[in-house]
Amino acid sequence: MRDTTLGRNIVHAFGENRLTLVAVGILLLLLLCAMFGQSLAPYDPLTTDGAAKLSSPSSTHPFGTDALGRDILSRVMVAARLDLGMAISAVVLSFTLGLTLGAVAGYFGGWPDRIVGRLMDTIMAFPLFVLAMGIVAALGNTELNIILATMIINLPFYSRFARGEVNVRREMGYVEAARMGGNKALPVLINHIIPNILPPMMVQASLNMGWAILNAAGLSFIGLGVRPPTPEWGIMVSEGASFIISGEWWTFVFPGAALVLAVFCFNLLGDGLRDLLDPRRRI
């Protein structure tokens, strides 16, 4: 019974909604760039070429070159590793930590719940990007700290979500039954509740991924974390920005477009997954 509805949802999410399939395809391409970008790229992303400074897109340089004559296509491809890497690590970290904190808070209630709740409320009391800036400023201007900052500002979403889901399920029949059967609290939580909240949490994560990419790229756009000449989309847009008023649009448009594409595809994937899991919430 469950299989048939799930099957029908898959047909809907991926068949009727071909956009999700396209998004998955593009994301796979980006992941390919992230993994093998260095060897796939036509040029070395760091090699400068004084003779080919700021050349517009052509057959030799499809995305043109930047102020130092570096091939923008190669830089955009190689940058996928850093951009996706930072966002994915941040999301994985906040997913794990948020799930743990939220599940404990939701299942045990009492003081763990109050402490976690207060902690998350405090994080949410800040404009999140501003808090991320403050964290990077305090911890030090490194890529790792960008990941940490992005992790912290994403934490409340996972923690609150997990807490809510655990809270609802704690009262449900199958959990009650497991508890009556003499299972201890922690095994019940780990074996019976958490497996059930993982799928909706995954949807949350893929919806969140785009936002994590935007945050990390935003931080590096203002000069935090990633340092030149490291190829990264945010910093490339920032470097290209100075050539707007002289019309060298390719310097910032291509890395920016890569960002948009990645975020858009993750959002589409998230929407598609949500439809798959919970067609009622399709709005």
Partner 1 sequence: MSFVWKRLLGTVPSLAGVIVVTFLLSHALPGDPAAYFAGPAANAVSIAEVRAKLGLDQSLPLQFLHYLGDLARGDLGHSLTTGQPVVTDLLQRLPASMELTFFALVFAVAIAIPMGVWAATRPDSLVDHVCRATVSVAAAFPTFFVGLLLVYVFYFLLDLAPEPVGRLNEILYTVPPHVTGMYTLDSLIAGDWPVLAASLAQLVLPAISLGLFALAPIARITRAAMLQSLGSDFTRTARASGLKRGKILFTYAFRNALLPVSNVLGMVFSFLLGANVLIEQVYGWQGIGAYAVNAVLASDYAAVQGFVLMMAVLYVLLNLLVDLAGTLIDPRVRFEA
Q: Which amino acid is at 224?
A: L
Which H or E run includes 266? helix 250-277
Contact 41, 73 (CB under 8 A): yes
Per DSSP (E only), the strands in 88-226 are: none
Q: Which is nearer to partner 1, 122 or 191 (CB)?
A: 122
**Footprint (CB under 8 A) of partner 1, residues 196-215:** 210, 214
Q: Is 259 in the site for partner 1 (CB under 8 A)?
A: yes
Q: Which is nearer to partner 1, 42 or 223 (CB)?
A: 223
Quick one: which segment of 52-60, 63-71, 166-174, 247-255 binds partner 1 (CB under 8 A)? 247-255
Burial of 260 (0-12, 13-18, 19+ CB in 10 A): middle
- Candidate list 221, 239, 272, 276; residue touching partner 1; CB under 8 A: 221
Q: Is 21 in the site for partner 1 (CB under 8 A)?
A: no
- Candidate list 18, 118, 184, 280; residue touching partner 1; CB under 8 A: 118
- Structure-block tokens of residue 121: 């409320």
Contact 193, 169 (CB under 8 A): yes
For the beta carbon of residue 25, count every other beta carbon within 10 angstroms: 11
- Least Å from the CB of residue 19 to partner 1: 10
Question: Given its phi and psi angles, is residue 47 left (phi above 0), alpha (psi -120 to 50 degrees) or beta?
Answer: beta
- Least Å from the CB of residue 141 to partner 1: 8
Q: Is 108 in the site for partner 1 (CB under 8 A)?
A: no
The rounded distance, in Å, linking the Cα atoms of 70 and 229 is 10
- Least Å from the CB of residue 183 to partner 1: 36
How many chain residues touch partner 1 (CB under 8 A)?
49
The rounded distance, in Å, linking the Cα atoms of 193 and 172 is 10
- Candidate list 218, 229, 230, 277; residue touching partner 1; CB under 8 A: 218
Q: Is 224 in the site for partner 1 (CB under 8 A)?
A: yes
Q: Is 82 in the site for partner 1 (CB under 8 A)?
A: no
Q: What is the chain's Cα-based Rg?
A: 22
- Candidate list 36, 241, 278, 279; residue touching partner 1; CB under 8 A: 241
The rounded distance, in Å, linking the Cα atoms of 33 and 55 is 24
- Structure-block tokens of residue 77: 């491809």
Which residues in this chain contact partner 1 in the complex, by CB under 8 A?
118, 121-122, 124-141, 210, 214, 217-218, 221-224, 234, 237-238, 240-241, 244-245, 247, 249, 252-253, 256, 259-260, 263-264, 267-268, 271, 283
